[in-house]
């Protein structure tokens, strides 16, 4: 697998040693065409399925957060009960399907740029995020 070399490089860039747990994590996270949204729990399950050995929760938390800090993952907050992470780190917005609890990326072309006319004195805008909650018609709003 030439892919693994990329992952090892990536880990090095981030300042993490390429251990087998971390390389496996990278495979799950970054070895895909499409953007990938997940919770820590999802991730632990997926890694466990892909690996004969066990991976500890703590390792997953630590490594995910290390990636987040360095900008390889983005956290998306939908409600107070769930942290979603996103492998698409460009500035973009989301749909959240309340029926399936699925997160869907918006393309840049899906939403016109937001025009903010107010600013807080002495403060800089760090990010602008739009979350569009959707549900099937018969569903009541949360």
Binding site for DNA (CB under 7 A): 8, 15-22, 39-41, 53-59, 61-63, 65, 80-83
For residue 74, the cross-strand partners are 86
Cβ 39 vs Cβ 78: under 8 Å: no
Q: How far apart are CA 70 and CA 41, in angstroms?
A: 21
Q: Contact between 129 and a copy of itself (CB under 8 A)?
A: yes
Question: Considering beta carbons, is residue 51 or 106 the nearer one to DNA?
Answer: 51
Retrieve residue 37's tokens. Answer: 């949204």
Question: Considering beta carbons, is residue 62 or 100 the nearer one to DNA?
Answer: 62
Residue 63 contact partner, candidates DNA, a copy of itself, none, CB within 5 to 8 A by sort of partner: DNA
Cβ 66 vs Cβ 60: under 8 Å: no
Q: Would you give the binding string for a copy of itself spanning residues 92-121, x where CB under 8 A is met?
A: ---x-xxx----x-xx-xxxx-xxxxxxx-
Q: Contact between 78 and a copy of itself (CB under 8 A)?
A: yes
Q: Contact between 58 and a copy of itself (CB under 8 A)?
A: no
Residues 6+ apart with CB under 8 A from 30: 7, 10, 72, 87
Q: How far apart are CA 83 and CA 7, in angstroms?
A: 24
Please pick, from the candidates 2, 34, 52, 124, the single residue that binds a copy of itself as defined by CB under 8 A.
124
Alpha-carbon separation of residue 139 from 24, 102, 130 (angstroms): 39, 15, 21
Task: Output the smallest distance, CB 80 to DNA, in A.
Answer: 5
Question: Considering beta carbons, is residue 18 or 35 the nearer one to DNA?
Answer: 18
Question: Considering beta carbons, is residue 52 or 115 the nearer one to DNA?
Answer: 52
């Amino acid at each position: 697998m030439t892919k693994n070399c990329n992952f090892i490089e990536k880990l090095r860039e981030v300042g993490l040693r390429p251990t087998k747990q971390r390389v496996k994590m990278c495979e799950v996270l970054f070895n895909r065409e499409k953007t990938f949204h997940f919770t820590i729990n999802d991730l632990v399950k997926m890694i466990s399925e892909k690996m004969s050995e066990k991976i500890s929760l703590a390792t997953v938390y630590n490594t995910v957060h290390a990636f987040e800090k360095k900008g390889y993952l983005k956290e998306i907050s939908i409600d107070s009960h769930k942290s979603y992470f996103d492998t698409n780190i460009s500035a973009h917005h989301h749909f959240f399907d309340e029926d399936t609890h699925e997160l869907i990326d918006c393309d840049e072309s899906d939403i016109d740029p937001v025009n903010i006319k107010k600013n807080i004195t002495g403060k800089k805008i760090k990010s602008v995020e739009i979350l569009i909650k959707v549900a099937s018609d018969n569903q009541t709003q949360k």
